C-alpha cells in the first residue's frame, strides 16, 4: 500500500488547527507547487500535519484524481477553496509557531479563507455531550473506508470533507436527555447505539449508518469541537475512498435522499462552510 499521510489516523493530539486557503489569481502553478513543497518539508515533527488540495489545485498539480467542488444543490453553504492544512499537537503553542511559519511561505500564493482552532472535549465528546467518533470503523476497515484502493488512480490517498457546523446549544440543552438521545440514536453517558427497534428514522445515526446500492457508506471521521461559551460547534472532518459518500450522507441528513426524512440534528446545528479535498499520499507530497 502506498503511504498515506499518517496523521489522518492518529487520534492522540488534543489541540487542532484547520486552515483553508484560496489560490491568489495570477500566481503560477510553479509558485504554488514550491510554496506547498516548502511547508510539507518544514514539518517540525512535534506537530502532526495533513495536507489536501481542492479540485482545481489537484488538476494544476497533475494529481491522478478528478472531482468537483462541494455543492449540495444550494441546500447548505458551499465554500470550496484550494488548499487545506490540518495541524495537530498537544499544545497550542506548537500549533501557533508552525502556523506562523507556514503562513510566511504560503501567503504570497494563497489567501487564507478560514482559520479555525479545535480541541478534544473530555473523552472525545461533541459539545452536545455525546461521544463522537466511537462508531468509526476500526483497523483494516478504517483504511478501507478512508483510502482509495490499490489499483485505482490516486490509491493510498483519501477524499476529504470539511464542514464547520455552529450549534444552537441553548435549544439542544432544553431537550430532556431521552429526547437528546433520540436526536443521535445513542445513549448519552455511555454511548450505546440504539438497536433497530429503538432507532428513530430521523436520528443522526439512523440517517448516517446506511448502505447505498448495497455498499455500506462507511467513512473515517476526525471531527473536533470548536469555540467557547458564546459561539461553538463542530469542525466536521471526514475521509473516504469515494467522494460521493459524503454527498449521499448529507442528502440523507437533509431529507433530499429517497425517503425524504430529515436528520433531527439539523434542527440544532447548522453548517457554515463546506468543501471537498483530496489528501495525496506521502510520495505524491514528496514529489511536488
Ligand atoms: C454538527 C454536526 C455533527 C455532529 C455533532 C455529529 C455527531 C455524531 C455523533 C455523536 C455520532 C454517534 C457516535 C459515533 O458513531 O461516532 C455520529 C455518527 C456518525 N456521523 Fe455525525 N455528526 C455531525 C455531522 C455529520 C455529518 C455532516 C456526517 C456526514 C456527512 C456525519 C456522519 C456520521 C456517520 C457516518 C456516523 C456513524 C454512523 C454509524 O454508526 O455507522 N455526521 N455523529
Residue with cell 487564507: 112
Atom number in ligand 1 closest to CA 133: 16
Atom number in ligand 1 closest to CA 161: 30
Q: What is the mean pLDDT of residues 165-185?
A: 98
C-alpha–C-alpha distance, residues 28 and 24, integer Å: 9
Q: What is the mean pLDDT of residues 210-234?
A: 98
Across the strands, what pairs with 238? Answer: 161, 221
Atom number in ligand 1 closest to CA 186: 12
Distance 55 CA to ligand 1 centre (A): 25
Residue 191 has pLDDT above 70, yes or no: yes
C-alpha–C-alpha distance, residues 256 and 279, integer Å: 28
pLDDT tens figures, 106-136: 999 999 999 999 999 999 999 999 999 999 9
Report how far Cα 13 is from the mean position of its chain's Cα atoms.
Answer: 16
**What's the pLDDT score for residue 194?**
98
Q: Which of 118, 103, 132, 125 is nearest to 164 (CA)?
A: 118
Q: Is 263 a catalytic residue?
A: no
Long-range contacts of 197-203 (CB under 8 A, 24+ apart): 200/264, 201/259, 201/261, 202/261, 202/262, 202/263, 202/264, 203/263, 203/264
C-alpha–C-alpha distance, residues 53 and 98, integer Å: 19
- Residues in the ligand 1 pocket, defined by CB under 6 Å: 126, 130-135, 163, 165, 184, 186, 204-205, 208-209, 219, 234, 236, 246, 249-250, 265, 269
Residue 1 has pLDDT above 60, yes or no: no
Nearest alpha carbon, ligand 1 atom 23: 236
Residue 165 has pLDDT above 90, yes or no: yes
Residue with cell 501567503: 107
Averaged pLDDT of the chain: 97
Residue 43 has pLDDT above 70, yes or no: no
pLDDT tens figures, 48-98: 999 999 999 999 999 999 999 999 999 999 999 999 999 999 999 999 999
Q: Which of 215, 181, 214 is nearest to 200 (CA)?
A: 181
Q: What is the mean pLDDT of residues 236-247?
A: 98
- Contact present, 60 and 27 (Cβ < 8 Å): no
C-alpha–C-alpha distance, residues 214 and 219, integer Å: 15
Give the list of residues 6+ apart from residue 287 with CB closer than 8 angstroms, or none: none
Three cell numbers, residue 132: 463522537
Residue 41 has pLDDT above 90, yes or no: no
Best probe residue, ligand 1, of 204, 210, 256, 263 (max atoms within 8 Å of C-beta): 204
Best probe residue, ligand 1, of 125, 132, 246 (max atoms within 8 Å of C-beta): 132
| Catalytic residue, candidates 132, 202, 247, 263 | 132
Q: Which of 251, 226, 249 is nearest to 169 (CA)?
A: 226
pLDDT tens figures, 15-34: 999 999 999 999 999 999 99
**What's the pLDDT score for residue 45?**
79
Domains and CATH numbers, the chain: 6-286 (3.30.70.1030)
Distance 136 CA to ligand 1 centre (A): 9
Three cell numbers, residue 139: 483497523
Confidence of residue 2 (pLDDT cuts 50, 70, 90): confident
Angle of helix 29-41 versus helix 92-106 axis, rounded to 10: 150
A 10 A CB-CB count for 225 gives: 22
Give the list of residues 6+ apart from residue 149 with CB closer than 8 angstroms, or none: 155, 241
Amino acid at each position: 500500500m502506498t503511504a498515506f499521510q499518517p496523521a489522518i489516523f492518529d487520534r492522540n493530539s488534543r489541540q487542532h488547527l484547520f486552515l483553508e486557503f484560496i489560490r491568489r489569481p495570477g500566481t503560477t502553478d510553479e509558485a504554488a507547487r514550491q510554496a506547498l513543497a516548502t511547508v510539507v518539508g518544514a514539518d517540525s515533527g512535534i506537530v502532526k500535519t495533513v495536507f489536501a488540495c481542492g479540485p482545481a489545485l489537484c488538476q494544476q498539480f497533475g494529481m491522478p484524481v478528478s472531482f468537483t467542488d462541494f455543492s449540495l444543490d444550494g441546500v447548505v453553504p458551499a465554500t470550496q477553496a484550494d488548499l487545506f492544512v490540518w495541524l495537530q499537537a498537544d499544545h497550542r503553542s506548537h500549533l501557533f509557531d508552525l502556523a506562523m511559519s507556514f503562513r510566511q511561505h504560503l501567503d504570497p500564493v494563497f489567501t487564507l479563507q478560514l482559520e479555525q482552532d479545535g480541541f478534544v472535549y473530555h473523552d472525545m465528546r461533541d459539545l452536545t455531550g455525546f461521544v463522537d467518533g466511537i462508531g468509526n470503523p476500526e483497523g483494516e476497515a478504517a483504511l478501507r473506508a478512508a483510502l482509495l484502493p490499490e489499483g485505482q488512480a490516486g490509491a493510498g490517498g483519501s477524499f476529504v470533507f470539511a464542514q464547520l457546523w455552529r450549534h444552537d446549544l441553548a435549544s439542544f440543552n432544553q431537550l430532556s436527555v431521552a429526547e437528546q438521545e433520540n436526536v443521535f440514536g445513542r445513549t448519552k453517558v455511555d454511548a450505546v447505539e440504539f438497536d433497530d427497534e429503538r432507532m428513530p428514522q430521523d436520528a443522526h445515526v439512523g440517517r448516517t449508518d446506511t448502505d447505498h446500492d448495497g455498499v455500506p457508506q462507511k467513512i473515517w471521521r476526525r471531527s473536533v469541537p470548536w469555540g467557547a461559551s458564546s459561539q461553538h460547534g463542530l469542525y466536521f472532518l471526514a475521509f473516504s475512498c469515494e467522494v460521493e459518500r459524503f454527498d449521499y450522507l448529507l442528502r440523507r441528513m437533509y431529507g433530499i435522499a429517497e425517503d425524504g426524512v430529515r436528520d433531527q440534528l439539523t434542527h440544532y446545528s447548522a453548517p457554515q462552510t463546506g468543501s471537498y479535498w483530496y489528501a495525496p499520499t506521502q510520495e505524491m507530497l514528496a514529489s511536488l
